[in-house]
Amino acid sequence: MTLEVRQVTKKYKDFVAVNALDFTINEGEVFGLIGQNGAGKTTTFRMILNLQDTTEGTILWKGKSVHKLERDFLGYLPEERGIYPQMKVEEQLYFFGMLKGKSKKELKTEIQYWLERFELTDKRNDKAETLSKGNQQKVQLIASFIHKPEFLILDEPFSGLDPVNRQLLMDAILDLKNQGTTILFSSHQMDNVEELCDHLCILKRGASLYTGGLQELKALYGKIKLSIRTTKTKPELEVLEGVERVEQTRDGYTLYLQDESYGEALYQTISEGSYMDKFSMDYLSLDEIFKLKVGAPNE
């Protein structure tokens, strides 16, 4: 175990922002911390970063309290971006890297590599304020890991990005993981969490609703999402045994079942013994599970 959050609570007078939070992150994995706005994610990040004290509990990095460690072992991309608008892109990356103890010589190759990879080479001498939002975000992401931290916290790294830039960042994060970087990741976009995270913690009002593996979470609900293509109508499908609700899609229907045991009988009933070119049972998406557990639409 690399990072251990042990029964951590944070109180502000009578308000409990984080309540007995407990999870571990193994070396070289991406761990998701998800929840609605105000669920306690940022407070948790701040306690891990040693920017705020815990009211109760302990946070350990490789067995040592984060309060006793130099902060150069970690990198942080906050949701509120913080690059200097008047500083040129390349100067900015040298500045942040040197703040973390790296020399200009050590940073030169890394900066060149990431500017090329993130398609920012022609922007290296531009002031940050002249860049598009997506390019500013790429600069700040590079700044968060240019010193090669062992542990990286990413808070909403994909916010506002177009699909091309999203994929550039996604590939970079996966490469960092493969190189051994341990990553704590937060996003309101559940498809990003599904693609990146090995394990996760779902927060609601500062408390964990679930902590564990993504696939284990999906298995708790079973394969209750049935996609079909049929000539039957929605009202005919809604009254079938085991069906909780039906949604019409572009090329058929999605049926949500009470549990996956109804699948075989539904196939026989709907197909009436004939061939069906679409009948697929699957797990719920993380977005669907999140809404069920939290009890409100994702924000």
60-90 in b/e form (b: 16+ CB < 10 A) is: bbeeeebeeeeeeebbbbbeeeebeeebbbb
From 89, 94, 22, select the one nearest 60 (Cα to Cα). Answer: 22
Do 204 and 247 reside in the same domain of the chain? no
- Is the pLDDT confidence value at 1 over 70? no
Tens-digit pLDDT profile for residues 269-291: 999 988 999 999 999 999 999 99
Residue 297: predicted pLDDT:
46
- Mode of pairing for the β-strands spanning 252-257 and 225-228: antiparallel
User: How do 199-204 and 30-35 pair as beta strands?
Assistant: parallel
With respect to residue 292, please indicate whether it lies within any of the assigned structural domains: no
Residue 175 and residue 232 in one domain: no
Q: Tell me whether residue 277 is in a domain.
A: yes
Q: Judge if 193 and 254 occupy the same domain.
A: no
Of 188, 217, 246, the residue that ends a domain is 217
pLDDT at 10: 96
CATH number at residue 13: 3.40.50.300
Do 210 and 264 share a domain, yes or no? no
Q: Is 296 inside any structural domain?
A: no
Note down the domain range covering 200: 3-217
Mean pLDDT is lowest, of 48-52, 68-72, 174-178, 182-186, for: 68-72
Q: Which of 174, 196, 217 is the last residue of a domain?
A: 217
In a domain, 290, yes or no: no
Please provide the average confidence, as pLDDT, over all residues in the chain: 92
Q: What is the pTM of this model?
A: 0.89
Q: Does residue 44 sit within a domain?
A: yes
Both 27 and 151 in one domain: the answer is yes
Which of 217, 236, 257 is a domain's end point? 217
Whole-angstrom distance, CA of residue 92 vs CA of residue 110:
13
The answer to the question of residue 165 being in a domain is: yes
Cα dihedral 53/58/63/69 (nearest 10): 10
Note whether 29 and 128 are same-domain residues: yes
Q: What is the pLDDT of residues 135-169, one digit of tens each?
A: 998 999 999 999 999 999 999 998 878 899 899 99
One domain, residues 174 and 255: no
| Residue 140: closest CA among 122, 155, 151 | 155
3-state secondary structure of 21: strand
Rounded-to-integer distance, Cα 40 and Cα 108, Å: 37
What distance lies between CA 181 and its chain's CA centroid?
A: 15
For residue 82, pLDDT over 90 is answered with: no
The pairs formed by 178-181 with CB atoms below 8 angstroms and a separation of 24 or more are 178/28, 180/27, 180/28, 180/150, 181/28, 181/145, 181/149, 181/150, 181/151, 181/152
What does DSSP assign to residue 41? H
Instruction: Report how far residue 121's alpha carbon sits from residue 112's, in angstroms, rounded to the nearest whole number.
Output: 8
With contact defined as beta carbons under 8 Å apart, do 162 and 194 qualify?
Answer: no
Residue 299 clears pLDDT 50, i.e. is over it: no
Helices 133-145 & 104-117 angle (0-180, nearest 10): 140
The pLDDT value given to residue 134: 87
pLDDT at 147: 93
Pick the closest to residue 149 from 186, 116, 110 (CA basis): 110
pLDDT digits (tens, 9 = 90+) for 244-264: 999 999 999 999 999 999 999
Q: What is the pLDDT of residues 184-242, one digit of tens each?
A: 999 988 999 999 998 999 999 999 999 999 999 999 999 999 999 999 999 999 999 99
Residues 80 and 138 reside in one and the same domain:
yes
| For residues 61-77, average pLDDT | 87
pLDDT at 298: 43
Number of domains composing the chain = 2
Residue 91 predicted with pLDDT over 80: yes
Asked if residue 252 and residue 190 are part of one domain, the reply reads no
| Within a domain: 176 | yes
Q: Which residues contact 103 (CB under 8 A, 6 or more apart)?
A: none
50 with 191, same domain: the answer is: yes
Cβ–Cβ under 8 Å, residues 49 and 76? yes
Domain assignment present for 291:
no
Same domain, 229 and 208: no
Q: What pLDDT, on the 0 to 100 scale, is given for residue 161?
A: 85
Helices 104-117 & 89-99 angle (0-180, nearest 10): 130
Residues 133, 155 within the same domain: yes
